Amino acid sequence: MENQTAPPRVEKNDDPDYPIWLLGDSPSVNYPDLTPLDPTHPSRHTIWTPILDVIQRHLFLERGQRLDDSKLFIRNAVSDYRHKLEKPKTLGAEIAKFQDKQVEEIKELRELLNRPNKPRPLLVLCFGEFAYACALRTQQEVKEILRPQDWNKWGIRGLSREFKVRIDDVQLGRVTLLPLLHASVALSFQDASRNFSGGGGNYFEYVGREIADKLILHSQHPRLTELWLPAKREGTASE
């Protein structure tokens, strides 16, 4: 039988109808033109790839299938790192402009999550405190500016508690926000292993397994069936 080469995999994570979203923080300061969680940037492979590897392993062992990760909607919470207002003194006289931009972007995210007559995401994986705080604001009619003290408060232990409460209460009839770690997973990996691992000592293994378990439990949900890669068909490999 002739060899049949599979078509190249195209990653196009721009459809908000997808049932799982990855919500990043903000564009890279040094590389603002990169896409959210850009696969060419090391940050993605620090905060997401190890989790995805665990999810895929458990899905394969339990279901014999894998997640089509090209069908995940990916975006950042804001389109400009200055909209985080993380260092207000450096923004000078322009701070009011960036405050208004932040409010606009959270409103835009709220509208995207709650589009009328459109499917809402089932899971929103939020990388870091800021992304999680923005996602929380989308579920509330709050127009106040999100200041650093409003989101720089959980720390690793706090995000771990938030994750545990939410992963234990996943209901696919509503949006579930799941906080995950951002840069802290690299900068404080020992702290993450101690305090965000469910007692198992491995952050990636813990959150990956927890997410995989929910996907397996709800694998027949009509919104999730589109995410499973089809089983390998006989005759597609060289003999």
pLDDT in tens, 53-72: 999 999 999 999 999 999 99
Res. 86 pLDDT band, cuts 50 70 90 = confident
- What does pTM read for this prediction? 0.88
pLDDT surpassing 50 at residue 1: no
Mean pLDDT across 96-103: 87
DSSP secondary structure, 190-216, as one string? HHHHHHSSTTSS-HHHHHHHHHHHHHH
Quote the pLDDT of residue 24: 96
Res. 40 pLDDT band, cuts 50 70 90 = very high
* Angle made by CA atoms 203, 209, 210, in degrees to the nearest 5: 90
Two structure tokens written together for 169: 């209460």
pLDDT in tens, 127-162: 999 999 999 999 875 566 788 878 888 999 999 999
Mean pLDDT across 75-82: 92
Q: Are 129 and 153 in contact (CB under 8 A)?
A: yes
Q: Which of 155, 169, 157 is nearest to 197 (CA)?
A: 157
Distance of alpha carbon 135 from alpha carbon 68, whole angstroms: 24
Q: Are 119 and 223 in contact (CB under 8 A)?
A: yes
